[in-house]
Amino acid sequence: MKIKKNLNNEVKKRRTFAIISHPDAGKTTITEQFLLAGNVIRTAGTVKGKKTGKFAQSDWMEIEKKRGISVTSTVLEFNYCGCKINLLDTPGHEDFSEDTYRTLSAVDSAVMVIDAAKGIEAQTKKLFKVTKERGIPLFTFINKLDREGKEPMDLVDEIENTLGIEGYPMNWPIGMGKNFRGIYNITKNRLELNLPQNKIEMVPLTKAKNDQRFKEAIYQEAFADVSLLKEAGNKFDSAKVAVGEQTPIFFGSALTNFGVKTFLDEFIQLAPSPSVHQDLAKQNIDPNDSEFSAFVFKIQANMNPHHRDRIAFIRICSGEFTKGIEVKNERSGKFLKLNSSTINQTGSNDQVEAAIAGDIIGLFDNGNYQIGDTIHTGKKELVYPPLPTFTPELFCRVRAKNVMKQKSYHKGVNQLVSEGSVQLFKEVSTGDYILGAVGQLQFEVFTFRMINEYNSEVELIPMGKRIARWLDGSKAEEYDSSSRNLLVQDIHNDYLFLFENNFALSWYQDKHPKIKLIKKL
Ligand code: G4P
């Protein structure tokens, strides 16, 4: 499809978002229900079958299948009620949170899925921090109502107190677990009842008042709660929702597909379409601008073992992509002709002919892109802000087991580092390579991929936890270096110390009060 006219109308239809949650809260299950609602799949239970071993759409890497975890972010697209939904999947495991953080820089809103029995869990809290920092509108789905969980009021309190965001319930559960009767849809003023065989009965509140069925205590309790919320709860404030200061809260059960459609219907109304992006020079780039612009938020090699491709995923911020357009990569100054690929729901690489602001596409990459690159068709300089990099906490030395295979070793290390899988450092005194990661699994994936994709067996010598601090200024030769404060350089040739522990850090700081040590995110 070619989109030439009405760019504005098309942009308005985009909803680009990601789901954040703690593992097992139900992210995959709700994603499946979304795909079902968008007619992408016919039956739920096909995206990921941890126990059933069914075809796993986002589990394309062997290691993912082995561990039953999702390592990579993928993009799912579907149409729903006139909207084009771009759902960016994020890895559930906390060792890959760096990838998730980068993905969150490419979305316009986020959905937080919470297990009603567990409330706010560690990983949700971490990811929430990122959405809050970026002011991303956040929608909350409290899941697993078909099981006994915490009291709904307590869950709302927990969201507000633990995360420091206002909650505004859009619907309210009627009972829970075995006694889960459905929800009171507060915005639509009706009851949505959970009937056998996945049927739903809608009862307008005006009718429910005179219906004997609803005299039962379980309904009366829900009515009382909603009255209390209306009287004493927060008022809905779309301006606060738009900047992530208030989160609309929905209750439901992803597994039984109850409340998911209600959620989606409201979500597409409330979630923002792509809006202005600001570049480093504080230029406001309108999504409807006729010049195409985008940034790379993810690079992934070898997604399909049959084609050893490297794909750079871009988020389009303005204008329209058409196959074959020429763009400038602002970092390298190179002009590039774009050919695209999407990794669609069935795992095949389909060519995208056209895509517009808000869309995510994959570009075939021969080493032209790095994470954070800006590409655009305009004449004026345009650079989108850099993506967050994290201070790694775990380190190990790395070398090729077979010294004869240096070429494939270096190729593999460089490619995996440019994908952001691990961070690479060079010891200043010896030139040795050191890898840094946020979590141990990153090293395991690195080792696995080096063998499988680059035929290079690597030896990792653990250095354990270190505290990384960057040096302000470049005259690093003047600084002391020892095993307790190892001087290394990152891939940008910036100097940093890897301190053995907090003691070593404070000792160094006391000794060199004038040296400024910088911590990244
Ligand atoms: P995740 O992607 O956030 O890690 O969670 P996922 O959807 O894989 O769900 C984790 C477990 O919770 C799964 O069970 C799933 O069936 C269950 N679950 C998700 N939503 C609901 C819900 O609304 N109600 C109930 N009762 N359970 C829910 P599992 O036994 O660990 O895996 P599986 O064998 O079902 O795949």
pLDDT at 344 over 70: no
CA-to-CA distance for 139 and 127, rounded, in angstroms?
A: 13
Residue 277, both tokens: 């992006």
Cβ pair 433, 397 in contact under 8 A: yes
Residue nearest to atom 9 of ligand 1 (CA): 26
- Domain end marker among 341, 376, 411: 376
Mutate to test the pocket of ligand 1, among 20, 22, 24, 70 (most ligand atoms within 8 A of CB): 24
pLDDT at 49 over 80: no
Q: Is residue 140 within 6 Å of ligand 1 at its C-beta?
A: no
DSSP state of 23: T
Q: Interior CA angle at 26 toward 20 and 32, to 5°?
A: 95
pLDDT at 478 over 70: no
Q: What ranges make up the beta strands (E) of 68-164? A: 75-80, 83-88, 109-115, 138-143
CA-to-CA distance for 500 and 513, rounded, in angstroms?
A: 19
Any domain includes 330: yes
pLDDT at 499 over 80: yes
User: Do 257 and 156 share a structural domain?
Assistant: yes
Any domain includes 199: no
Q: Is residue 25 within 6 Å of ligand 1 at its C-beta?
A: yes
3-state secondary structure 438-458: CCHHHHHHHHHHHHHHHCCCE
Q: Is residue 159 within 6 Å of ligand 1 at its C-beta?
A: no
pLDDT at 51 over 50: no
Cβ pair 225, 233 in contact under 8 A: no
Q: What is the pLDDT of residue 514?
A: 82
CA-to-CA distance for 217 and 201, rounded, in angstroms?
A: 19
- Domain end marker among 255, 270, 285: 270
Cβ pair 498, 485 in contact under 8 A: yes
Amino acid code (one letter) for 71: V
Q: What is the pLDDT of residue 191?
A: 96
Query: At 302, is the pLDDT very low, low, confident or very high (cuts 50, 70, 90)?
Result: low
Query: At 53, is the pLDDT very low, low, confident or very high (cuts 50, 70, 90)?
Result: very low
Q: Which of 99, 17, 21, 125 is nearest to 390 (CA)?
A: 99
Q: Report in angstroms the alpha-carbon separations of 166 from 20, 138, 220, 234, 250.
A: 18, 11, 26, 7, 14
User: Do 322 and 446 share a structural domain?
Assistant: no
Q: Report in angstroms the alpha-carbon separations of 273 from 128, 240, 292.
A: 21, 16, 17
**Residue 99's domain spans which residues?**
7-177+235-270
Mutate to test the pocket of ligand 1, among 58, 253, 255 (most ligand atoms within 8 A of CB): 255
Q: What is the pLDDT of residue 347?
A: 45
Please provide residue 165's backbone torsions phi and psi, each rounded to the nearest 5 degrees.
-130, 145
Mean pLDDT of the chain: 86
| Lowest pLDDT segment from 91-100, 160-169, 431-440 | 91-100
Any domain includes 480: yes
Side-chain half-sphere CA neighbours of 3 within 13 A: 19
Q: Is residue 136 within 6 Å of ligand 1 at its C-beta?
A: no
Which of 325-334, 354-363, 465-474 holds the top average pLDDT?
Answer: 325-334
CA-to-CA distance for 308 and 102, rounded, in angstroms?
A: 23
Span 429-455, pLDDT tens digits: 899 999 999 888 889 889 988 998 889
- SS3 of 60, please? coil
- SS3 of 124, please? helix
Q: What is the pLDDT of residue 335?
A: 96
Any domain includes 414: yes
User: Do 281 and 257 share a structural domain?
Assistant: no
**Through-space distance between the first and last CA atoms of the chain, rounded to whole angstroms:** 41
| Lowest pLDDT segment from 2-6, 31-35, 271-275, 332-336 | 2-6
Any domain includes 213: no
Any domain includes 383: no
Q: What is the pLDDT of residue 352?
A: 72
- SS3 of 85, please? strand
DSSP state of 198: T
Any domain includes 334: yes
Residue 263, both tokens: 């959620």
| Lowest pLDDT segment from 151-160, 208-217, 470-479, 509-518 | 470-479
Residue 346, both tokens: 């069935």
- Domain end marker among 376, 402, 437: 376
Any domain includes 171: yes
User: Do 306 and 258 share a structural domain?
Assistant: no
User: Do 171 and 41 share a structural domain?
Assistant: yes
Amino acid code (one letter) for 366: N
Q: What is the pLDDT of residue 391?
A: 84
Q: Is residue 248 within 6 Å of ligand 1 at its C-beta?
A: no
Q: What is the pLDDT of residue 349?
A: 53
Cβ pair 47, 59 in contact under 8 A: no
Q: What is the pLDDT of residue 475?
A: 61
Residue 282, both tokens: 């504080």
Contacts of 4 (CB under 8 A, 6+ apart): 320
pLDDT at 271 over 50: yes
Q: What is the pLDDT of residue 74?
A: 65
89-106 mean pLDDT:
78
Instruction: Output the CA 57–ligand 1 centroid distance in Å.
Output: 16
Residue 25 alpha carbon, nearest atom of ligand 1 = 3
Top pLDDT among 311 and 284 is at 284
163-188 mean pLDDT:
96
User: Do 47 and 164 share a structural domain?
Assistant: yes
Q: What is the pLDDT of residue 306?
A: 61
Q: What is the pLDDT of residue 196?
A: 85
pLDDT at 78 over 90: no
Please provide residue 375's backbone torsions phi and psi, each rounded to the nearest 5 degrees.
-125, 145
Q: What is the pLDDT of residue 65?
A: 56
CATH of residue 155's domain is 3.40.50.300
User: Do 452 and 317 share a structural domain?
Assistant: no
Query: At 477, is the pLDDT very low, low, confident or very high (cuts 50, 70, 90)?
Result: low
CATH of residue 433's domain is 3.30.70.3280
Query: At 5, is the pLDDT very low, low, confident or very high (cuts 50, 70, 90)?
Result: low
Side-chain half-sphere CA neighbours of 299 within 13 A: 23
User: Do 143 and 45 share a structural domain?
Assistant: yes
474-503 mean pLDDT:
84
User: Do 288 and 266 share a structural domain?
Assistant: no
Q: What is the pLDDT of residue 160?
A: 97
487-497 mean pLDDT:
90
User: Do 353 and 501 share a structural domain?
Assistant: no
| Structural domain count, the chain | 3
User: Do 123 and 142 share a structural domain?
Assistant: yes
Q: Is residue 124 within 6 Å of ligand 1 at its C-beta?
A: no
User: What is the crossing angle of helices 27-37 and 260-270, to 10°?
Assistant: 80
Residue 32 alpha carbon, nearest atom of ligand 1 = 7
User: Do 62 and 124 share a structural domain?
Assistant: yes
Cβ pair 285, 277 in contact under 8 A: yes
Q: What is the pLDDT of residue 15?
A: 97
- SS3 of 182, please? strand
What is the DSSP secondary-structure string of 448-515? HHHHHHH---EEEEEEEE-EEEEESSS-GGGS--BTTEEEEE-TT--EEEEESSHHHHHHHHHH-TTS
Span 101-133, pLDDT tens digits: 888 999 999 999 999 999 999 889 988 988 998
Span 17-42, pLDDT tens digits: 999 999 899 988 898 899 889 887 66
What is the DSSP secondary-structure string of 201-251? EEEEHHHHTT-GGGGSHHHHHHHHHHHHHHHHSPPP-HHHHHTTSEEEEEE
Mutate to test the pocket of ligand 1, among 29, 94, 100 (most ligand atoms within 8 A of CB): 29
| Lowest pLDDT segment from 66-70, 159-163, 269-273, 378-382 | 66-70
Span 191-202, pLDDT tens digits: 999 988 888 999
Query: At 187, is the pLDDT very low, low, confident or very high (cuts 50, 70, 90)?
Result: very high
| Lowest pLDDT segment from 62-66, 123-127, 387-391, 440-444 | 62-66
Q: Is residue 27 within 6 Å of ligand 1 at its C-beta?
A: yes
Q: Which H or E element spans position 27?
A: helix 27-37
Q: What is the pLDDT of residue 129?
A: 87
CATH of residue 331's domain is 2.40.30.10
